[in-house]
A and B are shown apart, each in its own frame.
Chain A
Amino acid sequence: MTVGQALLQAAPAALRHPAIIGTALVYFVVVGAIGIWATRRTKSAGDFFIAGKGIGVVTLAIAAMASTLSGFAFIGGPGLVYSVGTGAVFIVLSASITNTLGAWVLAKRMRLLGEARGLITVPDAIGARFRSPAAQGLSAIAMLVAIIGYMATNFLALGLVIDAMFGTGLSLGIWLAMLVTLSYTVTGGILAGVYTDLFEGLVKTAASVTVFYYVLTASGGLTGISRAIGAVDDAFMGPWGKMPAMSALSLFFVFGLGSLGQPHVAHKFYMLRDPRRLKWYPLLMSAAMALTLLLFVGVGMAVRAQVALGAMPPLARADDATPAFVLGFTPSAVAGLVFSGVIAAGMSTVNSFMNIGAAAITHDLPRALGRRVDNELRWGRAWTLVLSIAAALLAQVSGTLVAFLGIFGYGLFAATLVPSLAIGLNWKGATREGAIASIATGLVLTLALETLGYFKVFSLPAGVTVSGMSLLLSLLVFFVVSWTTRARAAEQLDADVRVVMEI
C-alpha cells in the first residue's frame, strides 16, 4: 500500500510526464507480448506450474531475484533507510550469503526430488520428504494464508501506482493491475511468469544501477553523503542506524534464515532444465541481487544527505524518498524506468503467488485429502482467476486490514517452511511429527502474535520481532519433536528420497 501512497503524494502531475507514461506503456506492451508467446507454449499442468522443466539458469536466477525483490525494495526499503539509517540495510545484508546458502540447502535437493518424483509444488516436497499428506496439506494452508495477503497488498499498491500515473482512480487501478497480471498468468501460467520475471528483473536492475549513478553524482559520492549526514545526525550512519543493535541483528537473522522458506523462490528450482547448471546459480543470482539492491541502499541515504545540506525539505512521509529523488535528480526517462521498475516489482511478485496459490488449491490440498484433480491445467487456470478476484476484492474493501495481511507474509513463510523444508531435506533424523508440529507452531504463533500486536493487546519487547520469535520457536519445536519421535525417522524415508538426501 505504501508504494502507491508514496507515488500519489509525489505530485501526480509530474508522474504524468510523456516520457514516464511512454516508458510504462512500452513495459506493458512487452509484458503482453511475452504473455501471448507463453500462452501458445502452455499445453499441460507441467507447463503451467513448472514451465515444463525447461528454463535456463540465467532465467532462473534473474526471475528468482525479480520475484524476491517486491515493490518494497524500490519504495518501502529506501523509505526505511531514510527514516532509520543504515540499520534498515540489515533487511538485505544477508543477500551476500543467502543465494549460495539456498543453492546448497534447497536448490539441488528440490530439483532432484522433481527429477525423481515429478513434483511441482513446495508442499509436494514436504509431503514426499516425510511421506505425509498432512504435512503437505498444512504447509499448503499456511502458504495460502500468506499468499492472499501478499496478493491483495500488491494489487492495492499497483492500483495506486496506475492511478497516480494514468489518473484512472484507485478502484479501476486495482482491477487493471489485476487484469494485466492475470491475463498472462492465467493463460501462460508460470511459463509466462518466469519470462516476464526475466524482463522485469532486467528492468529493475537497469533502474537500480542508473539511479545509483545519480545518487553518487548528486551527493558527492558516498563520502559526501556520510559527511553531510554525520554533521547533523551521529546515529544515522552508525552500523545499526537509529535502531538498537539487537533490532538490526534480528532483521539479519529473520531475512537470512527466512530466505530458505520463501516458496516463490524455492518453487523455481523445479523449473531448471539441466540440474547441473545450478553450478552458476549463486554467482548469477548474487550479482543480479547486488546490483538491484543498490537503489535500496543508496536512495534513502542520498535523500537524507540532501535534506541535511538544505537542498531538499524534509519528507512528509519516508516512503516518498524514491519518488522525490528520481523526480528531482534524474531525467524523465530514468524516472519512467524506475516507475516501470516499481510496477515490474509488484507484478513479478504477484504472478508467482498467483501460480503457487492455484497449485496449493488444485494440487496440494486434494492430495492431502487423498484425492487427485483430473485436469490440473484447467483447474489451475480457474483457481488462478478465483484467487485473483478474491485478492482484488480484498484489496478494494478492507483498507488497512490488507496492509496487516501483507506485513507478516515473509515471516509466515519462514516460520512454517524453514524447519520442514530446509532442514527436513537435509537431516534424515527429522520426523513428520516434527514437521507437522513446527508448521502448526509457525502458523499459529505468527497469526496470534501479529494479531495481538495489531490490536495493541500485546507486543514483544524492543529488538524481538514477531517473525524472529515465530521462526525461532518453530525451529526449536521441530528439533524437540523430531528428537522425541526419532525412532520413526527411518521408516518415514522412501528409498528415492533417501538417495536425493545423500547426494
Chain B
Amino acid sequence: MTTRPALLALVLSCTAIAGAYLLAFLPGGAPPIAAWGLAIGSAGVLASMMALGAARGGRLRPMATLASVLTFLVVSGGFGLALLLPANEGRDAVIVLGFPLRTAIVLYVVGLVPLLFLPALYAASFDADTLSDGDLERVRLASAEGTGAERADAERASAERAALERE
C-alpha cells in the first residue's frame, strides 16, 4: 500500500463529511443518511490520516496498515451498529457492562478498544518501521549537508557581491 490510496481515502472521507453537512442545510433538517456520512467519513479521516503519517518513503508497512484498517473497522463498525440497532435505553434496556447496549457499543468499542491495540501496534513496530538509530543518523547527516550547502551558497553570494563591487 502506498500513500496515494491513503490520500485518496482522506479526500473521499472529507467529501463524505461535506455531503453530510450539505444535507443538513435541506429544509426539514438532515435525513438519516447524513449521520452515516459523518460516521463513515470520520472513521475514514482518522484511519487515512494514520496511514499517511505512518508511511515511510511513500510505503505503508504491515503493522501500520493493520492499525489503520482496524481503526476504520472499529470506529465505523461501532457507530454503524449504534445507528442500525433499535433504540432501547429506557426502563427495559438491556444493560451491557453498565450501559444500555447501543451506548456500550459506542463507549467500549470506539472509546476503549483502540486503546488496547493502537499503542501496542505502535510500540511493536517502532524500531523496525518508525524510527531507528540509522534514521536519526540520516537526519543528522542531511542536516549537516544542508548547513554546509547553505554556507557554500552564502559564501558564493558574498564573493559575487564583492566581484560586482570591484567592477
Q: Is the CB of A97 within 8 A of B102?
A: no
State A456–B53 Cα separation when bound (angstroms). 40
Q: Is the CB of B112 within 8 A of A463?
A: no
Closest B residue to A94 using CB positions: B46
Taking CB atoms, residues of chain B closer than 8 Å to A103 are 122
- Residue A316 at the chain B interface, CB threshold 8 Å: no
- Chain B interfacial residues counted at CB < 8 A: 79
Q: Is the CB of A97 within 8 A of B87?
A: no
Among candidates B56, B91, B97, B114, residue contacting A230 with C-beta atoms closer than 8 Å: B91
| Given known contacts A245-B35, A495-B142, A237 and B21 CB-to-CB distance under 8 angstroms | no
- Residue A257 at the chain B interface, CB threshold 8 Å: yes
Q: Is the CB of B91 within 8 A of A231?
A: yes
Q: Is the CB of A503 within 8 A of B103?
A: no
State A476–B146 Cα separation when bound (angstroms). 33
Taking CB atoms, residues of chain B closer than 8 Å to A226 are 93, 95, 98-100, 103
Q: Is the CB of B45 within 8 A of A105?
A: no
State A95–B114 Cα separation when bound (angstroms). 9
| Given known contacts A96-B118, A105-B53, A253-B42, A116 and B89 CB-to-CB distance under 8 angstroms | no
Interface 1/0 per residue, B120-141 and A, CB below 8 Å = 1111001100110101101110
Q: Is the CB of B42 within 8 A of A426?
A: no
- Residue B73 at the chain A interface, CB threshold 8 Å: no
State A101–B113 Cα separation when bound (angstroms). 15
Taking CB atoms, residues of chain A closer than 8 Å to B39 are 249
Q: Is the interface of B mostly helix, strand, loop or mixed?
A: helix
Chain B residues 40-81 with CB under 8 Å of chain A are 41-42, 45-46, 49-50, 52-58, 64, 67, 71, 75, 79
State A108–B99 Cα separation when bound (angstroms). 38
Among candidates A117, A223, A257, A503, residue contacting B46 with C-beta atoms closer than 8 Å: A257
Among candidates A238, A429, A463, A495, residue contacting B103 with C-beta atoms closer than 8 Å: A238
Taking CB atoms, residues of chain B closer than 8 Å to A282 are 118-119, 122-123
State A93–B110 Cα separation when bound (angstroms). 7
Q: Give the shortest distance, in Å, between A347 (CB) and chain B (any CB).
A: 28
Q: Is the CB of A427 within 8 A of B103?
A: no
- Residue B111 at the chain A interface, CB threshold 8 Å: yes
Interface 1/0 per residue, A470-503 and B, CB below 8 Å = 0010011001000000000000001110011011
| Given known contacts A101-B53, A246-B35, A249-B42, A86 and B103 CB-to-CB distance under 8 angstroms | yes
Chain A residues 399-432 with CB under 8 Å of chain B are 422-423, 426-427, 429
Among candidates B11, B24, B103, residue contacting A462 with C-beta atoms closer than 8 Å: B24
Q: Is the CB of B75 within 8 A of A496?
A: no
State A93–B112 Cα separation when bound (angstroms). 9
Q: Is the CB of A422 within 8 A of B49?
A: yes
Taking CB atoms, residues of chain A closer than 8 Å to B105 are 239
Q: Is the CB of B131 within 8 A of A496?
A: no
Q: Is the interface of A mostly helix, strand, loop or mixed?
A: helix
Q: Is the CB of A496 within 8 A of B145?
A: yes
State A44–B45 Cα separation when bound (angstroms). 40
Q: Give the shortest distance, in Å, between B70 (CB) and chain A (any CB).
A: 10
Interface 1/0 per residue, A288-301 and B, CB below 8 Å = 00100000000000
Q: Is the CB of A222 within 8 A of B100?
A: no
- Residue B115 at the chain A interface, CB threshold 8 Å: yes
Taking CB atoms, residues of chain B closer than 8 Å to A99 are 119
State A416–B122 Cα separation when bound (angstroms). 27
Taking CB atoms, residues of chain B closer than 8 Å to A286 are 115, 118-119
Q: Is the CB of B52 within 8 A of A105?
A: yes
| Given known contacts A234-B89, A462-B30, A500-B139, A276 and B99 CB-to-CB distance under 8 angstroms | no
| Given known contacts A86-B103, A96-B115, A230 and B79 CB-to-CB distance under 8 angstroms | no
Interface 1/0 per residue, A239-271 and B, CB below 8 Å = 110001110011011001100100000000000
- Residue A458 at the chain B interface, CB threshold 8 Å: no
Q: Is the CB of A427 within 8 A of B56?
A: no
- Residue A283 at the chain B interface, CB threshold 8 Å: yes
State A249–B46 Cα separation when bound (angstroms). 13
Q: Is the CB of A108 within 8 A of B142?
A: no
Q: Can you offer 21 A-B residue contacts whose CB atoms are under 8 A? A: A96-B113, A116-B139, A230-B90, A239-B102, A240-B82, A249-B38, A253-B42, A257-B46, A276-B126, A279-B126, A283-B120, A283-B122, A286-B118, A423-B10, A423-B52, A426-B52, A429-B7, A460-B24, A461-B25, A472-B21, A499-B139
Given contacts A100-B122, A238-B103, 15 further A-B contacts (CB under 8 A): A89-B107, A96-B111, A96-B114, A97-B46, A100-B121, A116-B139, A226-B95, A249-B79, A257-B45, A278-B126, A464-B25, A496-B139, A496-B145, A496-B146, A503-B56
A: residues with CB less than 8 A from B are 86, 89, 93-101, 103-106, 108-109, 112, 115-117, 221-223, 225-227, 230-231, 234-240, 244-246, 249-250, 252-253, 256-257, 260, 275-276, 278-280, 282-283, 286, 290, 422-423, 426-427, 429, 460-464, 468-469, 472, 475-476, 479, 494-496, 499-500, 502-503
- Which are the 5 A-B pairs with shortest beta-carbon distances? A222-B98, A105-B53, A104-B53, A100-B118, A283-B119
